[in-house]
Amino acid sequence: MDVLSKAPNVKLVALFAPEHGIRGVADEKVSDTNDEQTGLPIYSLYGESRRPKPEQLKDLDALVYDIQDVGVRFYTYITTLGYLLEEAAKAKLPVFILDRANPINGVD
């Protein structure tokens, strides 16, 4: 998000936080807040709700998901992605998933 927020022709308008927050340093549950570095609103996907709300998606052109999988069963981010995809489909909103090799034996 730090790179995208400075990219030309890209306008970030909101961030969605999974478990442990947008920068991965929070406790399990997170609340809606604002990002200190970008000033953007952060909507929690691991607090009162596990899904983005329709009003949070209504003015967006697309969603970008950039969370690396770590290859363990108890990892909650894949469920967060599933819920995000379901809600984006309802809103007819494209989702771009940035993927890379799994760090557990992903590049042998």
CATH superfamily of 2-97: Uncharacterised protein PF07075, DUF1343 (3.40.50.12170)
pLDDT digits (tens, 9 = 90+) for 33-68: 999 888 999 999 998 899 999 999 999 999 999 887
Which residues have a Cβ under 8 Å from the Cβ of 10 and sit 6 or more positions away?
4
Q: What is the DSSP letter of 62?
A: -
Three-state secondary structure call for residue 65 = strand
For residues 67-97, b (16+ Cβ closer than 10 Å) or e, as one string? eebeeeeeeebeebbeebeebbeeeebeeee
- Which pLDDT score, from 0 to 100, does residue 100 have? 75
- In this prediction, residue 107 has a pLDDT band, given cuts at 50, 70 and 90, of low
